[in-house]
A and B are shown apart, each in its own frame.
Chain A
């Protein structure tokens, strides 16, 4: 199975800050990677697919990059509604594993 890791596990930030989250796969997955946002008590929401494609309706302050084993999710200017937990997920091969999550909270 492909193992996914994320760093940091949590980050404290202020509105307007630039936030970067890293995801690493245990083997190369090309660009078969998604990012999801989850708020407490809610279902996850797809933000980015194919490593860098923005899902319809997602604000342009979210961006993704990377290929192979190393990926990044960037929030260019953090807004109050962005405080949440973010998960990466590989879509290269079954089982489609998720990273452990990165919690973004208010500084």
Chain B
């Protein structure tokens, strides 16, 4: 059974850093493109970043480019999102998702809440 379990969310001050983790089970992480999608309180879904299967090419939304870094540890079957220079507008639930057939997110984690506030 495919499962994704995020962790690492919490309260952080503006300008601070946080690293989110997404532990995958039931499939081999390195074989799939993986993504982070966020949802601000009461708002819609916003794609944040993706890392492609195999070659590990990375992609970022303009709003996080240069501040966030996506990576994975294939030995631990875990996806990461390193978030630096956090802003209030980064406050959201962050979901990791597996991509099927390029762009279609067929499995999602339960989400982890990141709150950026002083």
Contacts and interface: CB of A to CB of B under 8 A. Distances in A.
Interface stretch (A10-18, A19-27, A43-51, A62-70): A43-51
A44 B103 contact: no
A43 B108 contact: yes
Given A43-B95, A45-B108, A32 B103 contact: yes
Interface stretch (B7-15, B42-50, B71-79, B82-90): B42-50
B23 to A, nearest CB: 15
Main secondary structure of the interface of B (DSSP, over half): strand
B31 interface: no
A63 to B, nearest CB: 16
Interface residues of A, number: 26
Nearest to B105: A46
Interface residues of B, number: 22
A96 B47 contact: yes
A3 interface: no
A101 B44 contact: yes
Nearest to B63: A95
A100 B46 CA distance: 9
Contact of A98 (B45, B50, B101, B109): B45
Contact of B50 (A32, A46, A92, A94): A94
Interface of A: 1, 32, 34, 36, 38, 42-46, 49-50, 55, 87, 89-92, 94-101
Interface of B: 35, 37, 44-47, 50, 59, 61-62, 95, 100-106, 108-111
Among all A-B residue pairs, the 6 with the closest Cβ atoms: A91-B103, A43-B108, A49-B104, A98-B45, A101-B44, A96-B47
